[in-house]
Chain A
Amino acid sequence: MSTLAQDPSAVIVMTVSDPSPKWFTGRKKSTLIVARWVPLALVGLPVLTLLAIVIYPTIWMFYHAFQNTNMIRLFRNDWSYVGWENFATIFQSERFTDSLQNLVLYLTFGTGVEVLLGTIIALILYEVVKSNALRTVILILVVLPMMLPPSIVGVLWKFLLTPSNGAVNHALLNLGLISTPIEWFNAGISLWSIIIADVWNWTALPLLIIYSGRVSLPPAIYEAARVDGASGWKTLTRITLPMLKEVIAIAFIVRFMDAFKFVDLVYVMTSGGPAQSSELPAYIAFQRGIREFNIGEAAAYSIVIFAFSAIIITLFLKYLKKVLKSQSIA
């Protein structure tokens, strides 16, 4: 401070002749901003973390899928190679084929309904609700369930669907829609209970994706449609939906990928029961590995799920790329 006060020109010299402060450049030979090890460390730490929690376990899984590893053998270090035996066990078990059936049901009626409902609500929200404030309030309300942890959602719906005196049965009985309480957690119905809870939990995600897609469609096209004389229905089916096709596909893929690793609600609400009737493949893998310590078979399950989802998602992405290319977006 004192030197500046003595020589005001010093300030000007510093700011004019040397606009870049000294700390951006090295003083002597090196012109590095930071030492050499810093970028390595910054990139290296995440890479190491990734190795530790993703890549190493994946390799480990692929290895043990072909071993007869269980918990005891794992600790004794005496597992041995069994070839494709684990996979054979899986594909021969009825438990697996049943769970595949459940998965197909869940994908069509869970994920499918979520995307369908999301699309409908998003478009109603955009086209029908004209007040911005009301729109915001509705969006917040709709998004709330998505913010709850799945375990809480599971417990919540378990309460709501309790056959005797659960809120849902109570309401249905009072409305006269049913005469006897629905046994929500009986075989054959329990999967549907999970699907209902999942739809409640996740509809908001496709809704948000599709809503933002609708917002970004150019208004001039809709004005052209009005001048052309296109009806509301035609505008929806010929303009809005075709233009949202990719966005809807993306929303579907996002939910689809989640569906393959969907375990939490099954675990909390039914534990796969009764009698394994509401199990999904990922839940069996979890059961076999973490609960029953049959690590080899669980690893094989994981690979099967991985392969299924990889194939389907690759097909999806291929389709998406084709669509985007035809509109010369990608």
Chain B
Amino acid sequence: MARLSIEGLCKGWDFPVLDELDLQVEEGEFFIVVGPSGAGKTTLLRLVAGLETADAGRILLNGEDVTTVPPYQRGIAMTFESYALYPNMTVFKNIASPLVARKLDRHTIEQKVTAVAKLLQIDHLLDRKPGEISGGQKQRTALGRTLVADPKAYLLDEPISHLDAKIRHELREQFQTLEALHTVGTLYVTHDYSEALALGDRIGVMGGGKLVQTGTPRELFDFPSHAFVAQQLGQPGINLLMTSLTEDGGKTYLRSRDGNLKLILDEEQRQRLNGRSNAEVLLGIRPQHIRILAPRQKAPAKHQMVDARIEQFQPLGSMGIAITRAHGIDLKALTPPEAAHIGAQEVRLAIFSPAFHLFDPISGKRI
């Protein structure tokens, strides 16, 4: 039985924010909902928390229908994007607040709060007020308030999106190691795909008020069921080009609609496109599958060679992004950062063809 299951959840009639959304978080699962801002991720969390009422559909916690149950009786705990700490209370009192509301005795409260604070490494800050601690410490306090509640499910709303990169990585590690989050069930919302890929046991990509695809991070990254999913995951974003299928001399090509880029399909891909002759195909190529070849270097196996010209190069420390123009088509490529491709240069690209993503241009679905 799933920890948390959501069935046909709807919010908003004229302009639906959520449109018959289904979702299951299994026992002990860390489920991440990722999507662009305005996709309704926060609304989903607020509905599960009970801060808003559903227009249709059901929310089940441990098999129990809680759709109309008030927030505090649902047995969930939530962290808010803005932390929502009580500014007039100390860190200790902030963390203790769910326990105080349950009227636990002082000794138990003290024990639980100090244990959680130790776990989150904020035990030296317990006497301070939220105004006197840093953003990362505020987030840890908010997380502490959530952990101490010992809920049936955790709801985390963009918990680390507003922190600077270094603390974000620290907290990301913490999310992986915090046992509590991996024992009951956690619904985590973020717009940052890398957080999703790094943390999620499973990920759901949200768009149009629904989950477009759910699955493990690898499934979603390697086999996106929809062009939208492919676009959401990955930085720099996937190269998407509109192509049409052409046969020439016994080989099947995808020819770009703009420009004049021609890419050969292999047998397996041709099988998939069977019966679609002369049809349009939306082709997706991840930047890491495009390599820039050194002069006179041979293309590796299963790679296709394309002449291109480097328009722009961004060295990013651990990697570089080259924006190239091949036969009138812009292609982004991931390169080693040392490769100083400054200024317009004529190069050859090697494109790894087995990793082509083929989508239907009208429905956007994977072919």
Question: For the complex, is B254 an interface residue (Cβ under 8 Å from A)?
Answer: no
Tell me whether A220 and B131 are in contact (CB under 8 A): no
Within the complex, the shortest CB–CB distance from A39 to chain B, in Å, comes to 40
A225 to B85, CA, bound (A): 10
Least distance between B96 CB and chain A CB atoms (Å) = 10
Give A303 to B81 CA distance when docked, in angstroms.
54
Instruction: Report the bound CA distance from A327 to B87 in whole Å.
Output: 7
Beta-carbon nearest neighbor of B81 in chain A: A220
Contact A227 B132 (CB under 8 A): no
Taking a contact as CB atoms under 8 Å apart, the answer to whether A328 and B132 are in contact is yes
Q: How far is the CA of A242 from the CA of B81 in the complex (A)?
A: 23
Q: Does B97 contact A (CB under 8 A)?
A: yes
- Judge whether B86 and A229 touch: CB under 8 Å: no
Residues in B with CB closer than 8 Å to A220 are: 80-84
Interface residues on chain A, size class: 20 to 34
Contact A227–B51 (Cβ < 8 Å): yes
Do residues B129 and A327 form an inter-chain contact, with CB atoms below 8 A?
yes
- Taking a contact as CB atoms under 8 Å apart, the answer to whether B80 and A223 are in contact is yes
Is A329 interfacial (CB-CB < 8 Å)?
A: yes
Flag whether A221 is at the interface (Cβ < 8 A).
yes
- Interface set, chain A 225-252, CB cutoff 8 A to B: 225-231, 234, 238-239, 242-243, 245
Judged by a CB distance under 8 angstroms, whether B200 is at the interface is no
> Is B101 located at the chain interface by the 8 A CB criterion?
yes
Question: Does B107 have its Cβ within 8 Å of any Cβ on chain A?
Answer: no
Q: Is the CB of A227 within 8 A of B87?
A: no
A174 within 8 A of B: no
Question: A326-B129, A328-B132 are contacts. A227–B77 as well, Cβ < 8 Å?
Answer: yes
Interface presence of B49 (CB below 8 A): yes
Q: Report A294-330 CB contacts with B as 1/0, cut-off 8 Å.
A: 0000000000000000000000000000000011110
Residues in A neighbouring B145, C-beta threshold 8 A: 224, 228
Number of A-B contacts (CB under 8 A): 75
A218 within 8 Å of B (CB atoms): yes
CA distance A234 to B98 in the complex (A): 12
B64 to chain A, nearest CB (A): 17
Report the nearest A residue to B87, measured CB to CB.
Answer: A327
Q: Which of A229, A238, A243, A328 has most B Cβ within 10 Å?
A: A229
Say whether B72 faces chain A, with CB atoms less than 8 Å apart: yes
In the complex, which residues of chain B have a beta carbon less than 8 angstroms from the beta carbon of A218? 82, 84
Identity of the chain B residue whose Cβ is nearest the Cβ of A234 in the assembled complex: B101
Query: What mask results when residues 65 to 94 of chain B are scored 1 for a CB within 8 Å of chain A, else 0?
Result: 000001111001110111111111100000
Q: How far is the CA of A139 from the CA of B226 in the complex (A)?
A: 53
Looking at the assembled complex, report how far the CB atom of B32 sits from the nearest CB atom of chain A, in whole angstroms: 20
CA distance A326 to B85 in the complex (A): 15
On whether the beta carbons of B86 and A239 are closer than 8 Å, the reply is: yes
Residues in B neighbouring A329, C-beta threshold 8 A = 131
Does B124 reach chain A (CB closer than 8 Å)?
A: no
Instruction: Flag if A227 contacts B76 (CB, 8 Å).
Output: yes
Contact with A along B337-349 (1 / 0, CB 8 A): 0000000000000
| A223-B80, A227-B71, A228-B97 as given contacts; A328 in contact with B88, CB under 8 Å | no
Smallest Cβ-Cβ distance to A229: which chain B residue: B72
Known: A327-B129, A329-B131. A221 touches B86 (CB 8 A): yes
Interface residues of B in 138-155 (CB under 8 A from A): 145, 149
A-to-B contact residues, CB < 8 Å? 218, 220-221, 223-231, 234, 238-239, 242-243, 245, 326-329
Residues of B in contact with A (beta carbons under 8 Å apart):
46, 49-51, 70-73, 76-78, 80-89, 97-98, 101-102, 129, 131-132, 145, 149
**4 tightest CB-CB pairs across the interface, nearest first?**
A229-B72, A328-B131, A220-B84, A242-B88
Subset of 28 A-B contacts with CB under 8 Å = A220-B80, A220-B81, A220-B82, A221-B85, A221-B86, A223-B46, A223-B49, A223-B84, A224-B85, A226-B50, A226-B70, A226-B71, A226-B72, A227-B71, A227-B72, A228-B145, A229-B102, A230-B72, A230-B101, A231-B101, A238-B86, A239-B86, A239-B88, A242-B89, A243-B88, A326-B129, A327-B129, A327-B131
